[in-house]
Structures are given as structure tokens and as C-alpha cells.
Amino acid sequence: MTAHGTSAGDESSPPTPSGVPLLGNGPAFSRDPVGAMEEWASLGDLVRLEVPGQTTYLVTGAELIEQILVTDHESYTISPAQHETFEGIEDHAVTVTTGERWTRLRRVMRPALTHGAVQRYADRIVETTEDYVEEWDDGEHIDLYREMRLLTVNVLADALLDADVRGREAVVMDAADALVDRANLRRLGQLLPDWVPTPTDRRFERTVRELDAFVDDLIAERRNTGLGEDFCSVLLDAHDAGTLSIDEVRHNLVAMLLAGHDSPSIALTHALRLLDDHSDVRDALLAESGDVLGGDGSASGAYADLERTQNVVSETLRLYPPTLAVTRQATEPVTIAGYDLPAGAQFLLPQWPVHRDERYWDEPTVFDPSRWQEPESRPGYAYFPFSAGPRNCVGMHFARTELTLILATVLDRVELDVSMDGPLAFAPSLQLRPETDIEATVHRR
Ligand code: HEM
């Protein structure tokens, strides 16, 4: 052991932070996931972690991230943890499928989610946001994260599924909560064998049934109104053409509703909180949104002109990445950072410590959107909020577009006075959801 309570690693094994008997590094992570990841990352680009029942390798060097996600991606697949988390809810979705099936699913959805394709949703994103914000009264106190979740469920359903889900958002949000809770390391049920049903499992099963019924209703509504160009129609067209099964349609809609609202709402919450602390940046954004959105009433083409707002989105996703990590498993023996690791080795690629690494970023903890105006001089994979390589986030272009347009629209309509009930803390789960209450007082412009 070194002076830092670390097993130094040798030629055959990377360094390992010391942990608690039986529970290994789990408790440190469970207490403070981002603090633990930062500390472990300081031990090296590849660190071995022991959590109950398994060894996982933490990867925080930009070159190694590129190797796993891009250059050698064919030697890796998604992790067993990802299968376990989504089992029973997204079994037929892109999130858990592999091989030919995954390739087919991504091929069907790609045309509806390219940068160019998602720009056609701009007007609807702005309109949904305007309608939503219109309902906040002057002087009202809002739970900022909850409001951003409600808003992003509506934006996603309206733009991608052509569905009005106002008043029905709870079905989606409850299922997302059950999923995040199922993967929460603080949960005692994590230590029980799978066959012992816990209250979390029962809640998960109930919310899955409700979400399945909700998605079936959405499909029936889309059939009744006639198919169009939206994402739901693209999947249904593929079903009619015999390319997708109905389970694949249903589970991919579920995946979109869950993955598509949670991360964007976390990012928006942080962006609005950061802008409240940085009035100079907020004023510059306000001027930009006034110029861009204040014209002829059409938002199409607005994204490209909202350059400063885009930079704020990039910087927010750097400092507060909404997902905990990308996970992978080696499908064959691999060599990483000079260590030979067996087939089946599991990897955790966390964004937080890499996005704050001094080797890649000047003043890494400072919120400075202007850093995105400069040409990039850092390694490309020092920044990967949406992951990278062929299996990256399929909703990335939609996410960047909606975050930029929602932010510009909210700022244009209201000023938010944001407050937190303590220091920022995060749940130890697949999303870095804020555990601290974040509230805002609304001042209408
Ligand atoms: C700020 C917003 C978002 C962030 C930070 C984010 C991040 C991520 C990350 C890190 C992954 C894992 C990829 C991997 O395993 O390599 C992922 C996957 C995924 N995301 Fe997103 N995401 C966001 C928004 C969205 C949106 C809006 C949608 C839907 C419209 C979406 C749908 C998906 C889906 C379906 C996958 C699974 C892709 C696959 O395995 O092929 N995400 N996302």
C-alpha cells in the first residue's frame, strides 16, 4: 500500500484505491460519486475498482477513451450492468441490443435524428417552451429540476412523437425514477440476490406496465391521426414495411421517452443555475436570444445563430455531465495502457473527472463558455458528454438543438432567481441527478 491508501499496481495490474472489506470501493462511490471518481482518477488513467462481486476498470485518459469507444470499438460491447438496468423495460431497444439487431434499429432511426432533420422541430420546441413558461406566474417559486423534467417530456413528445402529453407526464417520470432507483448503489436491495423482490422492484414493475400502456395509447393515437414525418411515424412505417417488430417499436419509444427527457432536464437545470450566478454571460445570451428569436416568429435556422447559447450548453455539459459514465465490457482479451486484461473485463468511462482534468482544460472548475470560441487544442475525447464512436447517443443532435432553443426561449421570457438548499450533491446512479433541492423564483420580463 502507498501513503495514499492505494495498492500501487504492478506490471500486471493497475493501481487500486483501498476500500472497505467485502464492499470494496462501493461505499466511497455511494457516499459521493463525483468526489470518489475524481480521487480515483488522480491515481492514473486506468484504475482498478472492486465493487461487490466484480472488478471494474475506471478509464479517465482521453487516448484510452478513444481506444475503447472509437478505434477498437469492435472489441467491446455494452456492460452487463446496462442489460440488468434496462431488463424488462427496453429489451428490444437500441439501449440494450447488440450485433445485427442493434445495427438495424440504429439504421431505421438515424435519418429522423440527424442534425439537419432535427432542425425542422425548432418551431415546435420554441412553441412548447413558450406555452409552458407562460404558465409560471410572476413571483412564483418553482422546483427547477421538476419543471425542467415536465418541460422536456412535453418537448420530446410533441417534437418526436407528435403527441400532446400535457397532464400525463407523470407516467414517464415515474418510470424514469424507478429505473434510476433500481440502479442506485445506495439501495439496500442491491445487496440482495435478484430473486428476492424488493419494494423498488415492485415499483419498477408497476411503472413499466403503466408506461407500456401509455406508449400503446400513443401508437394508437398516431395511427388514428395518420402517420407523418415524426420519429414515431418513422418507426411505425418501418414496422409496416416488416423491418421492425411491434415490440421493437414500443421499446424504442420507451427508450426515447426515458433517455430523451432525463439528461436534457438535468443539463437545463444546471445551465439556468449557472446563468443565475454569471449575470454577464446571462445578459449576453439575453441579447442574442432577443436578436435571434425576436424576428419573424419562425425559429427554423435559429440554432445556428444562437452561438453563445450553444457555448453555454457545451460548457454546462462539460462541468455537469448528466450521465455518470459510459460502460463497456471487453469481448476478447485487450491491452489497455500496457495492461493485458481478459475478455469480460468491465470498464467505466466517467465524464466528470475527464471534463475537469487539468491536463486537458485551463482552469477546469471555472464556468467559462468563451473557451468554446477558441479552436480546440485538447485531445478530442477529453470531452464526451454524449459518448463517442458508433454507439454514441443517438439523440445527440436533438438534445443539443432542444437545449439551445429551450434555454434561449426561457431566458427571453423570464428571469429566474435560483437557490439551493445546500451544496450540490448527486445520487450514485446511472444519471448524475442533483439530490440537492434547486428552486427558482420567477420574474416575468
Ligand atoms: C443532454 C442530453 C443527453 C446526454 C448527455 C446523453 C448522453 C448519452 C450517453 C452518454 C449515452 C451512452 C452511449 C454509449 O453507451 O456509448 C446515451 C445513449 C442514448 N441516448 Fe442520450 N443523451 C442525451 C439526450 C438524449 C436524447 C434527447 C435522446 C432521445 C431523443 C437520447 C437517446 C439515447 C438513446 C436511445 C441511447 C442509446 C443509444 C445506443 O445504445 O445505441 N439521449 N446518451
Domain-by-domain residue ranges, the chain?
23-444
Q: Are 36 and 25 in contact (CB under 8 A)?
A: yes
Helices (H) then strands (E): counts for the chain: 17, 12
Going by CA atoms, what residue is nearest to atom 7 of ligand 1?
386
Q: Which three cell numbers stand for residue 238?
A: 418501418
Q: Is 133 a pocket residue for ligand 1 (Cβ < 6 Å)? A: no
CB-CB contact of 412 with 130 (8 Å): no
58, β-bridge pairs: 47, 348
Taking only the tens place, the pLDDT of each residue in 353-399 is 999 999 999 999 999 999 999 877 889 899 999 999 999 999 999 99
Q: pLDDT tens-digit profile of 68-116?
A: 999 999 999 998 888 887 888 888 999 999 999 999 999 999 999 999 9
Flag whether pLDDT at 4 surpasses 90.
no
pLDDT digits over 189-242, tens only?
454 445 545 666 777 888 888 999 999 999 999 999 888 888 999 999 999 999
Nine-digit cell at 136? 409560471
Q: In Å, how far are 82, 167, 169 from 325, measured between CA atoms? A: 11, 32, 26
On whether the 23-444 domain is CATH 3.30.365.10, my answer is no
Q: Is the pLDDT of residue 66 over 80?
A: yes
Cα–Cα nearest to 429, from 353, 348, 324, 319? 324
Our answer on whether the CB atom of 255 is closer than 6 Å to any ligand 1 atom is: yes
Expressed in angstroms and rounded, the spacing between residue 223 Cα and the centre of ligand 1 is 27
d(CA 18, CA 29): 12
Q: How far is the CA of 400 from the centre of ligand 1 (A)?
A: 11
Q: What pLDDT is stored for residue 1 in this prediction?
A: 34
Q: Ligand 1, atom 18: nearest CA belongs to which residue?
A: 393
Q: Residue with the nearest Cα to atom 26 of ligand 1?
A: 260
* Residue 155 zone, left/alpha/beta (φ > 0; ψ -120 to 50; rest): alpha
Counting residues of the chain whose pLDDT is more than 90, the rounded percentage is: 71
The response to whether residue 152 sits with its C-beta less than 6 Å from ligand 1 reads no
How far, in Å, from the CA of 131 to the mean position of ligand 1? 26
Index of the ligand 1 atom closest to the CA of residue 255: 35
| Nearest atom, ligand 1, residue 261 CA | 27
